[in-house]
Amino acid sequence: MARIVDQAGIDMILVGDSLATTVLGQPDTLAATVETMIYHSAAVAQVQPKALIVTDMPWLSYHISPEETIRNAGRLVREGKAEAVKLEGGRKRLPMIEAILAAEIPVMGHLGLTPQSVHAMGGYKVQGKDLAAARELLEDAKALAQAGVFAVVLEGIPDILAKRISEEIAIPTIGIGAGPHCDGQVLVFHDLLGLTSGHLPNLCVSMHSSPRSRHRHYNNTVPMCRPEHFLPPKKHIIPMLTSHRLYKMREPTHPTGPKPEQKRRYEIILTRETKDKQDPWQLFYMTQMQISN
């Protein structure tokens, strides 16, 4: 599999803890262990791909202490041949992220629908649909970028929120079920090729799984996932709640996010409407204002 995607010209291979469900047949990703991730990451590395190898830190491998987190991340790099690690969570994970970065291991973030929090979230549910949750995710993204992660996965959030986050932070955003405005897209290999049985999320595109069609489909998929070409079907776009609409900005920003010298602030105005309209709160993104140096 790693050879197929690498030959297609993919930029990055994520050895995800989703292998617990797609490969091992478990009901969720919580079954993945550090040893499991090391085994599969090392198998991918045997191909010696040109693509960057990023390996997921599984549940409980970065939740106990910074010291334990460094040991587990180090094992993924030393034994699993990973070139970077990915972990889920926002500001509450900063001590762990900073510890890994201090050990000179690159870190990718993951916000929104975080599968390792499936029980805390009450299932695989879209995140950031109301104003308060959207603000929290935006602040989490800013905090991760400030801490030094090199990219962040945005999963299962409204497309307009993903757009806002992508414009607010200078690092790449990688979307999955987050609309067309992210800097890149990630898809689960087994879902993409129709190898997963049972119900598939709306964001998945299932294709024929013969060896020839796998190569052909991956060759076609890679360019289509570039930001300038990625146009997901409407059913893949997640809207905000009606009572918390986020309107488009008047002035477009750089497609891959603002550079440090182009950082902007946004004037946010909350307006109270009459009860008969049944739309009490609306968030308007007003004209962007350049911050003077």
Which residue in the list 83, 155, 167, 168 is annotated as catalytic?
Answer: 155
Of 108, 42, 43, 105, nearest to 74 by C-alpha is: 105
Round to whole Å and give the CA distance between 130 and 141.
Answer: 17
Q: Is 86 annotated as a binding residue?
A: yes
Identity of the amino acid at 199: H
| Cβ neighbours of 287 (radius 10 Å) | 9
Radius of gyration from C-alpha coordinates of the chain: 19
Residue 172 near residue 257 (C-beta atoms within 8 A): yes
Positions of E strands within 202-292: 264-265, 268-272, 281-285, 289-290
Sign, CA dihedral 175-181-184-189, equals positive
Of 281, 238, 246, nearest to 266 by C-alpha is: 246
Of 193, 248, 252, 263, nearest to 227 by C-alpha is: 252
Q: How is residue 127 written in tokens?
A: 């995140």
Q: Is 56 annotated as a binding residue?
A: yes
155 is catalytic: yes
Q: Is 17 annotated as a binding residue?
A: yes
Q: Is 11 annotated as a binding residue?
A: no
Q: Is 209 annotated as a binding residue?
A: no
Q: Which residue positions form the known binding site? A: 17-18, 56, 86, 88
Q: Which residue positions form the known binding site for Mg(2+)? A: 17, 56, 88
Q: Which residue positions form the known binding site for 3-methyl-2-oxobutanoate? A: 17-18, 56, 86
Residues labelled as active-site residues: 155
